[in-house]
Amino acid sequence: MKKWIIGIVLAIIIMIPIAYFTNIFDIFNKDDGTLDDYDKNIIILNENISTDIILYGEMIPFRSELEFREVHNISSNTLNTTADYQILILSDLNGGMSITNEELLIIKEKVFENQLDFYYLGTKELSRLQEMGFFTTDRQETELCLAIVYSENELMYYNGIWTSSDVQATNDDRATLGMLLVRQFIRVLKTNQ
Amino acid sequence: MNKIIKKGLIFVFIFLLGFMWLNPDLYVQADQDQIAADYGFYLDDDYFDTNWFDSVTVINVYMSGKFLGSATEKVGIARRNILVNNKFRDTVLIRFQLEPADTKYGSSYYHGINKEGSMSLTIASGQTYVNYAPDSSPVIYSDTVSFSLGGTVNNKGEFGGTLGIGASTSYTTDGFTILSKMSNVNKTYTTRYLYQPNRDFFGSEAKRARNRFLNTTHKEFAMYQYDASSEYSQITVNYNVIMWGAISGSEIWGGRTWEVVLNNQGQASSSVTYTKNW
């Protein structure tokens, strides 16, 4: 009986430093256990910075907490905002979006006057955007997202936000695309601080 | 009395001149290129014309389809504003930033941990090698490292440097190493930042702290210098990024050493061409 008790005590004594160094009990420590980087970025966009995110075209499955608005046409009225930071996404990855030259000209004017950060998802309209002067340099065929933003106090072109490699790696998971877009919005905001 | 004051003033003047002569760096104030400084490079506006490219490339890293983080680059070329040996002297300035993420998938959290960020540039025909920085001479570790690029490095690898002529830099600190080399055969400059997380089963708080440190954004820098006969600059830089992935049940990663598993990692690369007609 005595040996049995001594054995248990010894086992506990041995286990204590092992448990300490492996932090084994941290498995049960969930901290607040809810917010990841995506959630934190959404909070910044929803609450901390006056932001107006506009989606035109195909739906993107953002996390439900993200505040954005869908528009079905582009005009001075639909782009009108009082927010400090405005983002427009033309979502056309499946090639189903249609937009007129007049609408694109309204967007272009706002982009090049640094009033609007612009994202085009897809490839169908790239040649038209290039002809209209949205960009000049030829783009790699793997690129699926054109981003023209006001960053570091100048107009900047971001590449690689969503490419054919991302499609392959995620099995075309559009929820990941939504997360990466939100991450990009925050990246640009940080460069302007 | 006046003579004494005059002699005193002359003495002070000569003394100050001598002091300045012995310590010129204290008094020669460069016209710092502020934009370059914002990117982490310290250049003198009087000697260089600098062009920063208006594009940024993002590189996303995944492990089995789960996002671990991303990297972004920012590149400029500083051209010496006089010809050197009848050639244009360009210095390519690269800032490569690793941005690991903490991402929720179901009830698990995936944490990106920096493993390697590297960049390489192959000089074209018509371009001849001059120098690069940082290089790989060993240095002794200390908490706040200051080395011969003319600047300082903090513990996240952010440094300010001059153009690195004759620089002997390398940098080994608790958590990462810089390896830089010039391959004469391939005419390729390569700079690798290698990070070493702790993967032991038994992990002290210090070991976990290093892992948490590698779970944060790090800036990496490289400078490559060549002479060119053409006024037109064209370069291609290849980037490679590798991140480990740790999986835990908490969004704030504790850095637990047994959660860093060998082979749990993702890799991504990108090749970017930059052109500038001066």
Q: What is the pLDDT of residues A149-172, one digit of tens each?
A: 998 889 999 999 999 999 999 999
pLDDT at A5 over 50: yes
CA distances (Å), B150 to each of A2, B90, B146, B161, in order? 70, 19, 8, 5
- Are residues A39 and A11 located together in one domain of the fold? no
User: Is 0.90 surpassed by the pTM of this model?
Assistant: no
Cross-strand pairs, B67? B62
Neighbour tally for B130: CB within 10 Å = 18
How would residue B126 be classed by pLDDT, with cut points 50, 70 and 90?
A: confident
CB contact under 8 A, B250 and A29: yes
- Are residues A5 and A76 located together in one domain of the fold? no
- The domain ranges of chain B are 1-29, 31-277
- Residue numbers of the domain that contains A37: 31-191
Name the helix (H) or strand (E) containing A180.
Answer: helix A174-191
Residues in CB range of A97: below 8 A, 6 or more apart: A56, A57, A58, A90, A91, A122, A124, A125
What is the bridge-based pairing of β-strands B151-153 and B145-147?
antiparallel
- Are residues A180 and A168 located together in one domain of the fold? yes
Q: A2 CA to chain B: closest CA distance, Å?
A: 32
H-state helical runs in B140-255: 205-213
Tokens of B209: 């702290």
How many independent structural domains does chain A possess? 2
Name the helix (H) or strand (E) containing A89.
Answer: strand A85-91
Task: Check residue B38 and give its pLDDT.
Answer: 73
- Cis omega (within 30 of 0) for bond into B134: yes
CB contact under 8 A, B54 and A29: no
- Are residues A37 and A132 located together in one domain of the fold? yes
Q: What is the mean pLDDT of chain B?
A: 76
Task: Check residue A24 and give its pLDDT.
Answer: 54
Per CB-CB distance under 8 Å, the chain B contacts of A35 are 251
Cross-strand pairs, B177? B172, B194
- Are residues A24 and A47 located together in one domain of the fold? no
Task: Check residue A6 and give its pLDDT.
Answer: 81
pLDDT at B82 over 90: no
Q: B56 CA to chain A: closest CA distance, Å?
A: 5
Q: Which residue has the higher pLDDT, B218 or A98?
A: A98
pLDDT in tens, A38-91: 999 999 999 999 999 999 999 999 999 999 999 999 999 999 999 999 999 999
| Calculated CA dihedral for residues B256, B257, B262, B263, nearest 10 degrees | 20
Quote ipTM for the complex: 0.86
- Are residues A2 and A74 located together in one domain of the fold? no
Tokens of A142: 């793997």
Lowest-pLDDT choice from A88-97, B6-15, B58-67, B81-90: B6-15
How would residue B45 be classed by pLDDT, with cut points 50, 70 and 90?
A: confident
How would residue B208 be classed by pLDDT, with cut points 50, 70 and 90?
A: confident
How would residue B14 be classed by pLDDT, with cut points 50, 70 and 90?
A: low
Determine the distance from the C-alpha atom of residue B151 to the mean position of all C-alpha atoms in its chain, rounded to a whole number.
Answer: 12
Chain B: residue nearest A172 by CA? B65
Whether A114 contacts A85, CB under 8 Å: no
Per CB-CB distance under 8 Å, the chain B contacts of A29 are 250, 254
Q: How far apart are CA B178 and CA B134, in angstroms?
A: 8
Q: Among B139, B189, B134, B181, which residue's Cα sits nearest to residue B158?
A: B134
pLDDT at B148 over 90: no
pLDDT in tens, B240-273: 999 999 998 877 788 888 888 878 999 999 999 9
Lowest-pLDDT choice from B14-23, B26-35, B68-77: B14-23
Residue A126 backbone dihedrals phi, psi, to 5 degrees: -60, -45
Range ranked top by mean pLDDT from A101-105, B74-78, B147-151: A101-105
Per CB-CB distance under 8 Å, the chain A contacts of B104 are 36, 38-39
pLDDT in tens, A128-145: 999 999 999 889 999 999
Q: How far apart are CA A179 and CA A187, in angstroms?
A: 12
Q: Which residue has the higher pLDDT, A181 or B171?
A: A181
Neighbour tally for B249: CB within 10 Å = 15
Task: Check residue B42 and give its pLDDT.
Answer: 66
How would residue A33 be classed by pLDDT, with cut points 50, 70 and 90?
A: low
Per CB-CB distance under 8 Å, the chain A contacts of B99 are 187
Q: Which residue has the tokens 């371009």?
A: B127
- For domain B31-277, give the fold: Leukocidin-like (2.70.240)
Whether B56 contacts B73, CB under 8 Å: yes
In the DSSP assignment, the letter for residue B257 is G
Collapsed DSSP state (helix, strand, coil) of residue A137: coil
How would residue B26 be classed by pLDDT, with cut points 50, 70 and 90?
A: very low
Whether A51 contacts A81, CB under 8 Å: no
